[in-house]
Amino acid sequence: MHPPTGCYGAPPQQQSYPTIPAHPAPVPSKAPITNSAHSANYYRSNHHQQQQQQHLSQHHVAPSPYSASPSSAPPSQTYATLPSSAPPPSNAHYSQQPLQQQHHPPYAPPGSYYGPQSYHAPPAQQSQQQPSLVPAPAVGPGAPVYPIVSYPSAPGSSQFGTLSSSQSAAAHGVMPTQMGAPLHQYGTTRPASTAAVQPGYGVAPPSHLAPTVNGQGGTGMCGGDTSSSSTGSASPVPNSYDNLEGGSYPDSMPPSNHMTNQAAPYGNYGYPGMPPAYHQGPAAVTDSSPSHDPYGQSSYQQYSQPFPNMSQLSAALGGLSGVPELEVAALRPVNLLQERDLLPHRPLEAPEPNLSPDLKKVNCCPQSFRCTLTSIPQTQALLTKARLPLGLLLHPFRDLQQLPVITSNTIVRCRSCRTYINPFVTFLDQRRWKCNLCYRVNDVPDEFMYNPVTRSYGEPHKRPEVQNATVEFIASSDYMLRPPQPAAYLFVLDVSHNAVEAGYLKYFCESLMDNLDKLPGDTRTRVGFLTFDNTIHFYNLQEGLSQPQMLVVSDIDDIFIPSHDSLMVNLKESKELVKDLLTSLPGMFSESKETHSALGPALQAAFKLMTPTGGRVTVFQTQLPTIGAGSLQSREDPNQRSSTKGVQHLGPATDFYKKLALDCSGQQIGVDLFLLSSQYTDLASLSCISKYSAGSIFYYPSFHCTQNPTQLEKFQKDLERYLTRKIGFEAVMRIRCTKGLSIHTFHGNFFVRSTDLLSLANVNPDSAFAVQMSIDDSLADSSLACFQAALLYTSSKGKRRIRVHTLCLPVVNQLSDVYAGADVQAITCLLADMAIDRSITSSLSDARDALTNAVVDLMSAYKNNVCNLQQSGLVVAASMRLFPVYILSLLKQKALRTGTSTRLDERVFAMCEFKTQPLQQLMRMVHPDLYRLDDMSDQGALHLNDTVVPQPHLLHLSADRVTRDGAFLLDCGNVFYLWIGKSCDHLFIQDVLGFPDYASIPATMTHIPELETLLSERVRAFLDWLQDKRAFSSTLTVMKDNSSAKASFFQYLVEDRSEGPFSYNEFLQHIQQQMS
Amino acid sequence: LLLLLYTNAYGLYHMIIAFDELKTDYKNPIDQCNTLNPTVEKVKKIKRVKIAIKLVLPEYLIHFFFCVMFFCAAEWLTLSLNLPLLAYHVWRYMSRPVMSGPGLYDPTTIMNADILAFCQKEGWCKLAFYLLSFFYYLYGMIYVLVSS
């Protein structure tokens, strides 16, 4: 019944909904739709079936006005359940209970009236489940309303539980002490006297509201809290009432208010039972009673949840948004001078926005879409006061395991701002929805009323678009400028003497040969080859030729294309010729003595060749372009490499490449650059060709096929990934955000075509983008801020698709809340991007100062505005405790360091990586993960399939953590270092490395043998597990304590003084000085 | 002379409009339909940037010509009023982004909010300056005509 389930691969939900069985059996879970497979969407396939069945499902429709949900339970049932559930055993404890009971009767009727389906079901379940104390209740209630609830990750937290608990807290007037600061508003809003009444209130609204708000489902529940808290009194009722009249539906809030008026004790609601009694107890004592914890916590968080989209409520929000315990923890002041062990045991996760669990459930995955502040400050003034950058980090085309793909004739969008419909819109009634970005009220088109997932009619809020924050649409021809072009790949290969020396050609041809069938594309896929030294060579691969024909154009000042239709050929038809060419290519130039490189003209030729279709140009270059247009001179002075003064030549020397890239971008050609060189090649200029055409850049310093096996291995692995990864053509990405927010600056590889539109000739799954935002208008009238990134692209199969990500975050008006929601990793990445811009437009030292100042500013701001304690030392919110470490590591990165010998190209490449790498990868590069491997235990290990993946603790990057008797793994993102201490346990060396003792380990070792020992299995399982999470595979280097490569290991220990002027302690002291 | 100045102000006005269009573009819902229309959009945008580029140099040249005229006419006061702007123009042109052709604005960075805002502000300030000086010159001319 819930096809979506299938999509998500969520656990079977059946159990949770008793009611469901009544429905016509859904198409049982279809195979999950993975985007990689491009599988057809369930939508389409089911469609006709569904229509046929529609008449069957009509009975559902009939009750629809009120029973928006499919829940088959007859109203009467609802009724029944309420009372029964009401007297839960737990209630007995309650002093308040009598009160509630009284209210019950009045309530009940409304209950049945409205939301019934959605609500009564829950109660029943809850009562059942109560005994078990399992968080399950949440699932229960949610289930009927929202079939899709099955988010694997979703915590079982009980929504209901939460509500009640919060109320209880209020009622008692007991605020847990921790909450004090954040809650301030709370206190004010609710006078103690009202407490008793309020509880009831609070409860009712939440539950009811919830459904209304989203229309969709999950969200609603918690929202209620806010409203209740804010109003505190009956006042809310009238308002909502009005709304109700206004034509609200079952979905809409009004009903809820209704309930509230009446009296609202919790009980009515339906959840009768367990929650109130249960929670109240725990809530009051949240801290003290550990046993209750699960409940208490969940309830708390929910409490704080802002109400989605309800402008009326928003005001209340601020107050309400209490601080969940998590947040309290995030706010705990940390004195950096005293606390040393700051690192968590496991790599840091993205902080969870302080949203209702239902919103959280549907919110966009932080890996795709992340904001530096998970609580958006209400005004620019507040943002400035916080001294933190506001921005988004996007990884829009990431490889996803599951992605709902939707085909429908009309893609529902806001008529005013063109936002795609998303889980955070409000359904005013079944016919209208309110845009969450511009607040315009739109009509729901007829087609949208039909829900292919449940095959029922009249439930727009259950459509997959509204249940998922990440969806993909198959776009109609309205979204095309021209018919989708075939995937076209052109390889531009440097075959000058230098390239032959480096010997990459052979490996490239081998790799391409192996992956020829895996190139993304369909039967129309076209390929072409072009080689160049001081002339340009084209290859005629027209089907029917007996062997490839080489056409040489030596007039590089005025490039022309010798033959128009036979140079880019259909891969399928000419596969034999292509293979021929790939076999013969390495040999053809082995005698080449030509040292010049005409890269510029070759790129111009490639541009002309690709203009008709657009596509991807892959350039392999091994030296500085020396002749023709775009030739460059060496600008690097090796003696200046370690200068502490400014670094020159970070910007391009010529705008030839930039202009060409813009032309390419206009013709939908993306240029990817592989730079394999041992000398200076002026990457700063060359990188422009990829930067502005949305390409990617790979750099292999001192690449040589025999002398540098690690680079070769990395090249081969990267190439394999590169050739087989997904690709999108003719892409544009637009980022929309809630009214009041605007985009300030973009970071990444693209051409900015408009204030919110990026033009991406090619889009690949490994590049990320960052966006700086500013707050133009106060966001006071909304409680949520939403961001939507829509990526329109042509898939390699010739389908026009739109991938939409929507992120929803709460708006706060307190500085402490802003700090509590700060995402230190995202902030670090965004600051890195900003610092790189600064170092190019201004100077490197400027950028470094700016980074240091960012820490100083944050510390001062926190000290002055939030932390009232007159503590000495450096105090910072716990959420930001790693900020100084990260900034210090940033300052020691190749891109930004001074005082250490850094080749200009490597520096520029590091800068390019900062701009395009996704956050996780970037963080590993900036602040590598250090693990100790020789004493791993299975405690806390992950069990995946049949393998046990141990989870060793993270260690601080300091030499005093690296002991002589241990083995340590340093995960730097694209390379692993396995450090073997001098007196490392022999057992480890034997079991894992396969050598008898330390002395016999070779100096260069790049693989871990597959041994049958337990330890070896664990180590390999751990390495594989780390590897699985990244797109490009990393190389492994085993290092001995005495090896000469030691320096490259120690340079990553950023907390020491080994690199750069500061150790971590010195850095802190420096900051303290700056503050005073 | 007056006419020239007028042209200059007029040109600048166009430039401001061009920037304004750039900025407000796509915030305007009507333009939203262009979303689907990358090439057209792009051409439009580049055209706008080109307009700006085309206008910049003539503006600078005309201003420079004025200064030369003032110098020849020994109008020291007027010249001194104009010198700062001349110096600014020279500095601005020297510190322009790397570019092979003439021009001041880089299409890849112009959409950056800071830069766009700066360019717009610069445009308005100069427009005000040119307008004021236009009236001042007019006054000067009439004064000379009347007194002779």
Reply yes or no on whether the pLDDT at A403 is more than 70.
yes
* Chain B contact set for A757 (CB, 8 A): 26, 35, 41
Q: How far is CA A558 from CA A604, A801, A991, in A?
A: 9, 38, 63
Cα angle B95, B98, B104 (rounded to 5 degrees) comes to 60
- Cβ contact (<8 Å) for B113 and A755? yes
Q: State pLDDT tens for residues A649-674.
A: 888 888 889 889 988 988 999 999 99
- Cβ contact (<8 Å) for B29 and A416? yes
CA distance A960 to A963: 7
**3-class SS at A732?**
strand
Lowest mean pLDDT, pick from A533-547, A937-951, A1016-1030, B1-15 = B1-15
Extract the tokens encoding A628: 């023709």
Q: State pLDDT tens for residues A497-511.
A: 988 888 899 999 999
Lowest mean pLDDT, pick from A153-167, A819-833, A1046-1060 = A153-167
- Mean of the pLDDT values across residues A711-719? 91
Residue A809's pLDDT band (cuts 50, 70, 90): very high
User: In angstroms, what separates the C-alpha of A1023 from chain B's closest C-alpha?
Assistant: 41
Q: What mean pLDDT value characterizes chain A? A: 71
User: In angstroms, what separates the C-alpha of A914 from chain B's closest C-alpha?
Assistant: 18
- Cβ contact (<8 Å) for A752 and B111? yes
Sign of CA dihedral A810, A811, A817, A819: positive
The pLDDT value given to residue A87? 37
The pLDDT value given to residue A291? 35
In degrees to the nearest 10, what's the CA dihedral of B79, B81, B84, B88? -90
Residue A621's pLDDT band (cuts 50, 70, 90): very high
The pLDDT value given to residue A489? 94
CA distance A591 to A458: 73
Q: Are A479 and A795 in contact (CB under 8 A)?
A: no
Lowest mean pLDDT, pick from A652-656, A946-950, A1012-1016, B115-119 = B115-119
- Cβ contact (<8 Å) for B35 and A757? yes
Place of tokens 């290859």: A539
The pLDDT value given to residue A131? 34
Percent of chain A predicted with pLDDT > 70: 68
- Mean of the pLDDT values across residues A934-955? 80
Q: State pLDDT tens for residues A550-591.
A: 999 988 888 888 887 788 899 988 898 999 999 999 888 888
Q: How far is CA A640 from CA A632, A898, A899, in A?
A: 20, 10, 10
Q: Is the pTM of this model over 0.80?
A: no
- Cβ contact (<8 Å) for A653 and B99? no
Extract the tokens encoding A176: 């847990």
Extract the tokens encoding A311: 């402008």
Top-confidence residue, A618 or A10: A618
* Chain B residue with the nearest C-alpha to that of A742: B113
On whether any CB of chain B is under 8 Å from the CB of A729, the answer is no
> For residue A691, which of A621, A629, A760, A631 has the smallest C-alpha distance?
A760
Residue A593's pLDDT band (cuts 50, 70, 90): confident
Q: State pLDDT tens for residues A889-915.
A: 998 888 888 877 788 889 999 999 999
The pLDDT value given to residue A913? 92
User: In angstroms, what separates the C-alpha of A480 from chain B's closest C-alpha?
Assistant: 7
Task: Give the range with max mean pLDDT: A827-841, A944-958, B62-76.
Answer: A827-841
Q: Are A122 and A149 in contact (CB under 8 A)?
A: no
CA distance A561 to A551: 10
Best of B22, B43, B98 to disrupt the A interface (most A CBs within 10 Å) is: B98
CA distance A879 to A876: 8
Q: State pLDDT tens for residues A124-170.
A: 333 333 333 333 333 333 333 333 333 333 333 333 333 333 333 33
The pLDDT value given to residue A816? 86
Top-confidence residue, A198 or A867: A867
- Cβ–Cβ contacts within 10 Å for residue A996, how many? 11
The pLDDT value given to residue A296? 35
Smallest Cβ distance to A417: which of B29, B108, B111?
B29
ipTM of the complex in this document: 0.73
* H runs (alpha helix) in A894-985: 904-916, 919-926
User: In angstroms, what separates the C-alpha of A761 from chain B's closest C-alpha?
Assistant: 11
Reply yes or no on whether the pLDDT at A177 is more than 60.
no
- Cβ contact (<8 Å) for A666 and B42? yes
User: In angstroms, what separates the C-alpha of B3 from chain A's closest C-alpha?
Assistant: 35
The pLDDT value given to residue A1060? 58
Chain A / chain B CB contacts < 8 angstroms: 76
The pLDDT value given to residue B55? 60
The pLDDT value given to residue B26? 36
- Cβ contact (<8 Å) for B29 and A658? no
Residue A646's pLDDT band (cuts 50, 70, 90): low
The pLDDT value given to residue A887? 92
Reply yes or no on whether the pLDDT at A762 is more than 50.
yes
* Chain A contact set for B35 (CB, 8 A): 418, 732, 734, 757
Top-confidence residue, A340 or A520: A520
* H runs (alpha helix) in A546-639: 575-588, 599-610
- Mean of the pLDDT values across residues A334-363? 81
Q: State pLDDT tens for residues A284-297.
A: 333 333 333 333 33
Reply yes or no on whether the pLDDT at A756 is more than 90.
no
Which residues, listed in sequence order, are joined to residue A550 by a DSSP beta bridge? A539
Three-state SS sequence of A351-376: CCCCCCHHHHHHCCCCCCEEECECCE
User: Which residues in chain B (20-79) have CB-CB distances under 8 A to chain A?
Assistant: 23, 25-27, 29, 32, 35-39, 41-42, 45-46
Q: Tell me which residues of chain B have a pLDDT lower than 70.
A: 1-56, 58, 98-104, 110-111, 148
The pLDDT value given to residue B54? 54
User: Which residues in chain B (92-111) have CB-CB distances under 8 A to chain A?
Assistant: 97-100, 107-108, 111
Place of tokens 């107890």: A281
Reply yes or no on whether the pLDDT at A698 is more than 90.
yes
The pLDDT value given to residue A791? 94
Top-confidence residue, A288 or A748: A748
Top-confidence residue, A46 or A698: A698
The pLDDT value given to residue A90? 38
Extract the tokens encoding A470: 């990440």
> For residue A251, which of A210, A222, A219 has the smallest C-alpha distance?
A210
Lowest mean pLDDT, pick from A98-107, A329-338, A622-631 = A98-107
* H runs (alpha helix) in A278-324: 280-284, 293-304, 311-320
The pLDDT value given to residue A620? 94
The pLDDT value given to residue A993? 85
